[in-house]
Structure 1
Amino acid sequence: MKAVGIIVEYNPFHNGHLHHAEQARAESGADLVIAVMSGQFLQRGEPAFADKWARTQMALDAGIDLVIELPYVYATAQASDFAKGGIALLEAIGCSSFCFGSEQGAIAPFLNSRQLLTEHAAEYQYLIHEAVQTGISYPKALNAAYKALTADREGFADLTQPNNILGFHYLEAAQRLGSSMEPLTIQRIGANYHDSIEAGLPIASATGIREAFFKGDSVEQLSAYMPETSIATLKNSENDYGTFGSWEGFYPLLRFTVLRDGPEQLKQYAEVTEGIENLIYQSAKTADNFEAFIALVKSKRFTRTRIQRMMTHIFTGFTWQELHSFAGPEYIRLLGMSSTGRLYLNHIKKNITLPLVSRAADLNGPMGKLDIHATAMYLQGLGSTDMKKEFTTPPIYRG
């Protein structure tokens, strides 16, 4: 059996995600689609809108065949490490290709860009260094260096676009891993990554959907942008918890943690660097909501996304020492499967190169324990202390 892999967050699962899955299957000619999905916290440093079980159910109901969890250490990492974790898991579970949505819509420019940066690595690093010295953030320094390197050349990917950036890192991770998976991309359609909802468009961004909900729209009012099955699952999730994940909801606990720990402890947490622990501490003293807090901390050097990742690690207690202790994914945590997915696992199980885990109780190593801890902290943010779901829920099955 032939599998195509996709790396996702489904925060929440919407019509654009459905299009991506269907096109990945069609473009690859695969028998099944395998999704590596972030757990309770996400790459942009945010708590997930709905928990990983709800998002797994949405994915299976929409036709995904296998859902496996991207461990916390990679799910909340900068783009290159996020890609490294996701690609390594797709390789380990035997995918013959991987497919990502992009603004570019064609794979050749990504291959060209990867070759250019490999051949001109020293020049690229020098340009990055020069750009950082001007005081801009590291992501903007990368963009400036790349723009300078490609100024007189044609046929390269536009790496100012968010999905293109992730796609480039997927390709980079696969090549560094020595993967034989074929890289594929499809054109991203509808709203852009950060866009608000626009009436009349059937495809909205997940950002826009979350924004509309927190501004007062009900789950039902967002039905134009998501499959019916996603709406039903979100309604059930809202009934279970009474709310959805957001930094505004989590902020009282985050603020308490920051003020309790103080600057000396804060700088031990992953991604907290360059003395920003002092600003974080002082800002938490005065800001009574998350948006006010972000406004005080954000600067040219520190983007919102980077600050949010810091806050995620502070909230969960994830340290620099822990971050540097992991070399790669240590297991494949199975969250859900279709009948085709189960058939595939039976077919491939002898060739899977990482332990296949279906119960939280079997996550005995540091990486797995971190995932369980992240779930406990996520539930605290939602006002719940019930960890039964994490330990008793078997992989969701959709026959």
Structure 2
Amino acid sequence: MKTVGIVVEYNPLHNGHLYHIKQARLKTNADVVIAVMSGSFLQRGEPAFVSKWQRTRMALEAGIDLVLELPYIYSTQKAETFAEGAMKVLATVGVQTINFGSESGSIKAFEDLLNFMEQHHAEWNKQVKINLKNGVSYPRATSEAFSTLSAPETMLSLSEPNNILGYHYMKAIRDMQLSINATTITRKSAHYHEETVPASPIASATSIRKKLNEHGALDQVKHVLPSSTFKLLQEYVLENKMFHTWEAYFPLLQYQILCSSLTDLRQIYEAEEGLEYRVKETIKKASSFSEWMNLLKTKRYTRNRLQRYATHILTQTTKEDIMELTSQPTLPYIRLLGMSSLGQTYLNKIKKDIDVPLISRAAQAYGLLSVIDERVTNIYYSPLSTRLNRMKEEFTIPPLRPY
């Protein structure tokens, strides 16, 4: 059976994602579409808008055959490490080809960029270090370093977020010597960071979340969502009385920072160059997460970078935890979140060839990764009035099936 893998957050799944799923299957002539999906906290350092189970349901209703969890240790990372984790998961279940959306739409452009960067890596890396010493953020340091390499004018731009992720997917495949081919499709309409919901049927997830946070009226975004996503969002907010945003977690985060010593904060993953001092100084002056971000942000640190550090403080995830797990060539286990009948057929065919445990319930997890997963899940559900039920379900719920 031919497989295509995609890397997703579905925060939430919208019409642009639905287009990608269909095009990925068509472009690769795949029988089975496998998604590796971030769990409770995401790459930009923020809680998922709705739970991973609701987003798994969205994926299955949109035509995904297998949904596998990208664990917290990779889902809350910069692009390079995020991509490495995603490729590890997809390679483990025998994915033959990946497909990603990009502003470029040309896989040759990514191949050319990959070859160019390999040839100029030492020069680029040296310039990045110089830029960082000058006090700029890592994304800006890498972008400015690239501009010094005298790349051809036709070279792919690494200023666009989906191009950056696509490049790192392909780099991870090459670095880890995985037997995975890469394909891409042109991203449709809305820009990744677009904050306004248009009248057309394609909108960014950012704009959808912003509209719902400001107005709370699902009807205002109905035209940019598949009907199944719209229904699932309705169900979630009806049952839980909220969508997950940073503001819901700010009181707990503030308490943790105030009760932590500088030494404690220094051990948290992403704490660098005395950032813990600034965190301690500013947290006492903020009455909301957005206010705190404005106080904390500098030209040195992007908002996403600071949000990731805040996420790790919230979940009490240390440098030692992350380094121990991400330094391993494979994950201790992979969590199966959902599957179609076709997905189950595929798993039955390949299960004897999978050399990493594929678990169907959290109760089957073990080791340090399971400790982190449990802590992260409990914190994610903590703002909900239904939190005790949600925490219990996490350990007993089997992989979801399409309705």
- Whether the aligned pair in 2 keeps the contact of 1:6 and 1:33 (CA below 8 Å) is yes
The secondary structure found in structure 1 opposite 2:34 is strand
Separation of aligned partners in 2, 1:91 and 1:28:
17
Q: How many residues align?
A: 398
Q: CA RMSD in A?
A: 1.2
Separation of aligned partners in 1, 2:145 and 2:182:
25
| 2:168 alignment partner in structure 1 | 169
Which of 342, 348, 351 is the matching residue for 1:349?
351
| 2:16 alignment partner in structure 1 | 16
For 1:65-85, what per-residue CA distance to the aligned partner results, in whole angstroms no more than 9, with x for missing partners? Answer: 100000110011111111011
Separation of aligned partners in 2, 1:142 and 1:152:
14
- Whether the aligned pair in 2 keeps the contact of 1:253 and 1:381 (CA below 8 Å) is no
Task: Letter of the 1:89 partner, please give it.
Answer: V
**Aligned 1:123-142 pairs, distance under 5 A:** 123-142=123-142
| 1:394 alignment partner in structure 2 | 398
| 1:235 alignment partner in structure 2 | 234
Which of 333, 336, 339 is the matching residue for 1:334?
336
The secondary structure found in structure 2 opposite 1:286 is coil
**Aligned 1:24-173 pairs, distance under 5 A:** 24-149=24-149, 151-173=150-172
The secondary structure found in structure 2 opposite 1:53 is helix
Q: Which runs of 5+ in 1 are unaligned?
A: none
Separation of aligned partners in 1, 2:184 and 2:131:
30
Separation of aligned partners in 1, 2:378 and 2:127:
43
The secondary structure found in structure 2 opposite 1:7 is strand
| 1:247 alignment partner in structure 2 | 246
- Whether the aligned pair in 2 keeps the contact of 1:193 and 1:207 (CA below 8 Å) is yes
Task: Letter of the 2:397 partner, please give it.
Answer: T
Separation of aligned partners in 1, 2:333 and 2:217:
38
What is the TM-score when the length of structure 1 is the normalising length?
0.97
| 2:188 alignment partner in structure 1 | 189
Separation of aligned partners in 2, 1:330 and 1:359:
14
Separation of aligned partners in 2, 1:347 and 1:276:
49
In the TM superposition, what is the alpha-carbon distance from 1:130 to its structure 2 partner?
Answer: 2.1
| 1:385 alignment partner in structure 2 | 388
- Whether the aligned pair in 1 keeps the contact of 2:197 and 2:204 (CA below 8 Å) is no
Task: Letter of the 1:389 partner, please give it.
Answer: E
What is the TM-score when the length of structure 2 is the normalising length?
0.96
**Aligned 1:175-214 pairs, distance under 5 A:** 175-214=174-213
Indicate whether 1:6 and 2:9 are aligned.
no
| 2:297 alignment partner in structure 1 | 298
| 1:358 alignment partner in structure 2 | 360
- Whether the aligned pair in 2 keeps the contact of 1:250 and 1:382 (CA below 8 Å) is no
In the TM superposition, what is the alpha-carbon distance from 1:197 to its structure 2 partner?
Answer: 2.5
Distance 1:159 1:388, change over 3 A: same
In the TM superposition, what is the alpha-carbon distance from 1:365 to its structure 2 partner?
Answer: 1.6
For 1:199-251, what per-residue CA distance to the aligned partner results, in whole angstroms no more than 9, with x for missing partners? Answer: 31211111110000010131232111110100111111112211111101111
For 1:340-374, what per-residue CA distance to the aligned partner results, in whole angstroms no more than 9, with x for missing partners? Answer: 10111111111123111001011012112211211
For 1:275-300, what per-residue CA distance to the aligned partner results, in whole angstroms no more than 9, with x for missing partners? Answer: 11111112110100011100011111
- Whether the aligned pair in 1 keeps the contact of 2:363 and 2:396 (CA below 8 Å) is no
Q: Which moved more, 1:111-120 or 1:334-343?
A: 111-120
For 1:1-34, what per-residue CA distance to the aligned partner results, in whole angstroms no more than 9, with x for missing partners? Answer: 1110001000001111111111111111100110
For 1:119-161, what per-residue CA distance to the aligned partner results, in whole angstroms no more than 9, with x for missing partners? Answer: 1221111121222232211111100111211x35244221010
The secondary structure found in structure 2 opposite 1:6 is strand
- Whether the aligned pair in 1 keeps the contact of 2:45 and 2:310 (CA below 8 Å) is yes
Task: Letter of the 1:330 partner, please give it.
Answer: P
Q: Which moved more, 1:107-116 or 1:32-41?
A: 107-116
The secondary structure found in structure 2 opposite 1:101 is strand
- Whether the aligned pair in 1 keeps the contact of 2:197 and 2:208 (CA below 8 Å) is no
Indicate whether 1:372 and 2:371 are aligned.
no
Task: Letter of the 1:42 partner, please give it.
Answer: L
- Whether the aligned pair in 1 keeps the contact of 2:107 and 2:184 (CA below 8 Å) is yes
Task: Letter of the 2:282 partner, please give it.
Answer: S
- Whether the aligned pair in 1 keeps the contact of 2:197 and 2:221 (CA below 8 Å) is no
Separation of aligned partners in 1, 2:296 and 2:148:
30
Q: Which moved more, 1:72-81 or 1:216-225?
A: 216-225
Indicate whether 1:262 and 2:264 are aligned.
no
Q: Which moved more, 1:280-289 or 1:320-329?
A: 320-329
Separation of aligned partners in 2, 1:152 and 1:6:
29
